[in-house]
Amino acid sequence: MNKPKTVTQLQLGMSIGTAIIGVGILAFPRITVTLVSTGAPLTTLIAVFAAVLGGLMLAYLGNRYPDETIYEYADHLVGKWVGSIVLLLIGSYFLELTALAAREFGEVVVTSVLPRTPVPVTILVILILVVIASRNDIAKFVRILTFYMPIVYFPALVIVVLSLKSARVENVMPVLGLFHGVSFQNIVVSTGVVTALFQNFMITGLIIPFMYQPKRAWKSTTLGIVVAGSLYIILIYSTLGVFGLEEIKNLLWPTLELAKTAALPAFFVERLDPVFLAVWVTAVFCAMFAAYYLSIKAFSHIFRFQDHRALALMGLPVALVLSRQPSNIVELYTVVKNIGLAGLPLTLGYPLVLTVLSRFKTHQPQSKRRGVGAA
């Protein structure tokens, strides 16, 4: 089935950049600093390179199979049975990521804005919005993510810049913190945790077949991941510079506390953390939207559904149940860290396997395969 060409290079890059900025931006400075101290910016940079590598593998595969999604060309690279098993894992994984993001969203909103609102209510609201949005096709999926990118990035950058007035250079010293008493295991875990925040780059494998120029997808993919990664690096440097090594370990959501230090005293807005929360809610929706879309598309391919809209509705109660599994916020972040690390073989390892196999297998175009079958 030929796919309509509706996506430009710019839209692909903006979609990836928006999908990556999600719920994790609030807590990741605390997690990385706890593991590697002032080496956190360096492990974040390494994670960005790892995500770029994963995105480039998907762009390469999309160039070789420009009319098929990653779920489709995987069938004849690893076989339908193996492909279905891996897709089941991928679909379940991104569904779990959606549920955990919804739970974290609920905890933050109830703690910061709506203390009298039950957490399940906020979780249900965001999940309903995500499910409704995910019933759209790829063209509308890309337009939604593209539309929200400036809404997410520009206010966040402005708030971070305004908060730097309280930063101190000595707080980020030593810059090469990885080489000052930090264990190799902590470096690996910290890098893996941050890389897990970028896993929505997998949408590249769904979008490329709908591009006008699939051969240029590598540029857009790289740009989208690097722009998102730059924001993460700016955030980790800013939080470290403002709060310092020891204080940041005691903050549950350092990025939110960073926004509270920003102010515009010369204007009518003296506190910018409500503005930042509004931006964060938009970012969380986009990230959950991308993860849920990846999940539903995977299940649709496994069960050979022509339309994924029914599955989108069926996934809602499952995501709602999964979001309630961690009993408290401490357990939630433990689960988030473990699940994020466990998913890297799927989001980085699987594209690598497909890339290696594509070098040894000659791909027969879909049209020819249908012609042979018809004959």
Q: How many domains does the chain have?
A: 1
Q: Is residue 68 part of a domain?
A: yes
User: Which pLDDT does position 114 carry in this prediction?
Assistant: 87
Q: What is the CATH number of the domain that holds 321?
A: 1.20.1740.10
Q: What is the DSSP letter of 114?
A: -
pLDDT tens by residue, 7-66? 999 999 999 999 998 888 888 999 999 999 888 999 999 999 999 999 999 999 999 998
Q: Is residue 203 part of a domain?
A: yes
CA distances from 126 to 99, 151, 182, 183, 266 (A): 10, 18, 39, 39, 35
Q: Which of 233, 251, 182 is nearest to 37 (CA)?
A: 182
Q: Is residue 320 part of a domain?
A: yes
- Of 99-103, 161-165, 183-187, which range is least confident? 161-165
pLDDT tens by residue, 125-143? 999 999 999 999 999 999 9
Q: Is residue 375 part of a domain?
A: no
Q: Is residue 2 part of a domain?
A: no
User: Which pLDDT does position 374 carry in this prediction?
Assistant: 38
Q: Is residue 104 part of a domain?
A: yes
* Torsion angle in degrees (nearest 10) through CA of 112, 115, 120, 126: -40
Host domain of residue 157: 9-370
CB-based contact 210:3 (threshold 8 Å):
yes
Q: Is residue 3 part of a domain?
A: no
